[in-house]
Amino acid sequence: MSEVVTRRRKGVGLKNFKQRWSEQPKENLATADVPGKRCATPPGDDDGRQGALKRFSAMWPSFRKARKDKIKEPDLAETRENLPVMDNVPIQPRRVSGQYFFEYLVVVSLKKNKDGSNYEPQITYQFPKRDVMAKYQKEEEEKTLKAITLFCFPEGISWAPLTEYHSETFSFVLTEIDGSRRNGYCRRLLPGGRGARPPEAFCIISSLACFGLFSKIFDEVEKRRQISMALIYPFMQKLREASFPAPGQTVEIKSFIPESGTEIIHLTRPLDSWLEHVNFCTLFDCLTNEEVLQVFAAAVLERRIIFIAEELGTLSQVLHAVAALLYPFTWQHTFISIVPEILIDVVMAPTPYLLGVQKRLLDQVTDQSDLLLVDLSKNKEKTFLVTIGDEDSILPPKLQAEILDALSQRRKVSDVEEAKKVEEVNRVVSEAFLHFFVRTVGHYSSYVKYSKEGPGVFEKRRFYKAIESKTTRHFVKKFIQTQMFDLFVQELEQQQPSGQQQGIFHRKITEYQKKKNEKTKKH
């Protein structure tokens, strides 16, 4: 990581940043990630910290209301999004397949401030550039650009010029007041040149969630950057003209590089599109199977969870992975994969959250209680720095054992070629946790009463009373009190009976019930 000097005490240019800091599970958050209105306060300002907490607490009722967007099944028609105006031409809402790859690309460079004492992030390149905009559009774009600079360089401290810097890729999510989200993909690297120089960040803003695909795009951007910035424009223009491929499909981008000639870049979208923003390998590189279960248990009951790591990429990938474990449910609360130092007061929020915090800020979060604090570092002394104490007993013991047994199958794919390994691990892990929800709440559809006149009514008490296992019933009784389950039920009640027979979750339920019936017949 970078060499650093004195800490910043002022949040320059953040006056208009309220309403624009945030991140969700791609299924989910994984949210940068926090929606709502917020004013940054300098670290160490006690009055400011209390004021921030009051503003934060007052924000949540409206936040929860705004975030009740629809639960999505991955193989259904994907929802349309209200995309911004690009190049002064309104983009019509379209299905994800065939949509633009990205809204725009920006380069964030570290420039010395007016007195020359510190480096501060500034937008030095933007593609496409929008020159003609209405006043409200211009104001919204300014807010977005300021948010981008903050999340591209979340350290909140001055940087010193460097001669060596290992490039890193991470992501965040910009969440609007209405709950709509845009993904930010960032690649930080040391620009070409001689002598010491500060790093710069390339950031792509897109409504599409596909971390692996955008990582490959960044590889191409970085390769061109080392030759000349001028080579980035034609490549990104070609990319923007291409349609986003359907799951399992490939798009080809032709791009010319001096001395190398025309290259054809193949960008393939994973077949399991609901996992394309997730890499479970990183999660299990940092935590044991048993530790992942405890994190999952805390998340499924919507508790406050903070992850600590030194690398930004580790934080963003782990948080998105944890959120994805909750499928078919969606994390409905604060989700910030990388918390900028100037927004560290978010840890004081009394409501549930999933937060990623750099390890150098550990002292600013260890005074919190009633949460789970997870250290993802390689050379950690212990994983859980703060716990509530019941994390290992939340899930039914029998189902815990089933998940652990399923996760053990990951060892069998260790020798698979790297490109296929991530997809295979994602499949094994996702199915293990999806099966958990099939076993615990898969009978939900039998307890919705529909009428011709209005929406259905979910019979909550009959639903959990129907569970034979006492330990499973005890867990489900807690789980049905969460917002993620509440939203799931609300969507279910609005559907017609004929509209329930679709989606991966329903197929897994059908498969499980079929096996269960066959087993019963044999006995």
pLDDT above 90 for 185: yes
The domains located in the chain, with CATH, are 104-269 (3.30.450.200), 280-409 (3.40.50.11500), 425-522 (no CATH)
The identity of residue 96, as a single letter, is V
What are the φ and ψ backbone dihedral angles of 305, each rounded to 5 degrees? -135, 130
In the predicted model, what is the mean pLDDT of residues 442-464? Answer: 85
| Kind plus residue range of the DSSP H or E element containing 219 | helix 211-225
Task: Return d(Cα 10, Cα 83) in angstroms, integer.
Answer: 33
Residue of higher predicted confidence among 74 and 100:
100
Tens of pLDDT, residue by residue over 299-352, are 999 999 999 999 999 999 999 999 999 999 999 899 999 999 889 999 999 999
pLDDT above 90 for 494: no
Task: Return d(Cα 217, Cα 244) in angstroms, integer.
Answer: 13
Contact 199, 2 (CB under 8 A): yes
pTM: 0.75
Pairing assessment for the beta strands 157-159 and 168-175 based on DSSP bridges: unpaired
The least confident of 26-40, 73-87, 212-226, 389-403 is 73-87
Confidence of residue 272 (pLDDT cuts 50, 70, 90): low
Confidence of residue 190 (pLDDT cuts 50, 70, 90): confident
First to last CA, the chain: 62
Residue of higher predicted confidence among 279 and 66:
279
Report the chain's mean pLDDT, rounded to a whole number. Answer: 77
pLDDT at 158: 63
